[in-house]
Every structure is written in structure tokens, then in C-alpha cells.
Structure 1
């Protein structure tokens, strides 16, 4: 028999090891000194417009794990994509790779209220 909390859907499993931030929270947090801003979209999407100061590493590329392994895992890392799906995937991979402070932009650049740069 299932425990009562599981029966009513109250148990959702462990929380992600990263934070999901709304655009306003993400904007404020990413402006701090020493952060890594990671755009995980394809290079053509990045070239079409990205957040200022972002580094582009495509989460769907076969060398994604190798490329992020070369980054400083202790730096606060802010990750985003177009809608939030790929950045969620990337945040999970970064967690597994040992990154300590990860934040994910909810809604991606589709929800970003500020102008993107090229």
C-alpha cells in the first residue's frame, strides 16, 4: 500500500540541485560580479541575439560535457535557452558534473523583458 502522501501526489521526489529563477530574479542575480552566464542554444540562435556577456555552449552538441568540464565549477552559473527546456536539461547535466551554484531562467529568452545583444 502507498503512503498517504504519495497517494495524494504530495511527494514529488527530490528537488533539483539548481534554482529556477523568474526573469527579474535572473537579471538581478546575473549582474553580480564573477558569474558565468551560459547560453545553451545552438550557435545560430545565439548569433540572432543573446544576453550581454553570455558564453555559448550548445547543450545538444556532442562535446557539451567536455566543454563545460573545462569551466570553473565553483562560479555561480546562470543558464538559459529559448524557452527553458534545454536550460533545464543543461542545469541537470551541470549538477551531475559537480557545479555548485546553478540558476536556470524560467521561460528562457521568450520571457526575457530586456533587449538582447548581437
Structure 2
């Protein structure tokens, strides 16, 4: 498996301690993102990940946590990034549906 699951309900309860451990990347549509997102997340929609993955290359050695609505699109995003050599990938399992932390 090219990524690890992290339960949204768990990490959202520890957001203040966890936020700096990851580069947070939201892969939802622009409409979803603008409707509310986790503070500090980068926004690269899944349908643009292949073309825009270079934007993350400065974070290649860091933990990248991928966020979507339910935790499905973020798995596909993890697979795209893994194909480009990213190895520290995490999926926010349950996505924004299970997120109980801050939203902006």
C-alpha cells in the first residue's frame, strides 16, 4: 500500500498537536474547498493532481496528508503521488464528513 490511513475523527481531536506533522493537501473541487476547509491546507483538486504534483516536490520528504469529502478521492490522489515517488503519504480516512476540527 502506498499510503497509511489516519482516522479523521481521531486527528481532528488532536489537531493542535498534529497540524505541524503534515503538509495538508485538500483534493476536493474548488466549490467544496471554498465551502469550508481545514486551516492551512493546500488546494490541488484530484483532477489536477497529475499535472500539479510538481507543486509538492519541495515536501517530498515530509508527511503529506490528503483530504477529501469522505476519504475516497484522497486515496486516488495518494496513488498518483506514489507513482511520482512520494513515500510519506497519509489518507484522512472519513474525510471532511468525519472531521470535527477547525474549518475556515
Tell whether the structures are fold-level matches, with TM greater than 0.5.
yes
Counterpart mapping for 1:4-19 below 5 A: 16-19=1-4
Larger radius of gyration: 1
Q: Which residues in structure 2 correspond to 1:1-118 (within 5 Å)?
A: 16-23=1-8, 24-25=10-11, 27-28=14-15, 30-32=18-20, 35-61=22-48, 64-71=49-56, 72=58, 73-117=60-104
The structure with more helix, counted as a fraction of residues: 2
User: Which structure is higher in RCO with an 8 Å CA cutoff and minimum separation 6?
Assistant: 2
Distance 1:56 1:30, change over 3 A: farther
Contact 1:20/1:106 (CA < 8 Å) preserved in 2? yes
Q: CA RMSD in A?
A: 1.8
Runs of 4+ aligned structure 1 residues displaced above 6 Å come to none
TM-score w.r.t. the length of structure 1 is: 0.75
Q: How many Å separate the matches in 2 of 1:30 and 1:36?
A: 11
TM-score computed with the length of structure 2 as normaliser: 0.84
Segments of structure 2 that go 5 or more residues without pairing to the other structure are none
Number of aligned residue pairs: 99
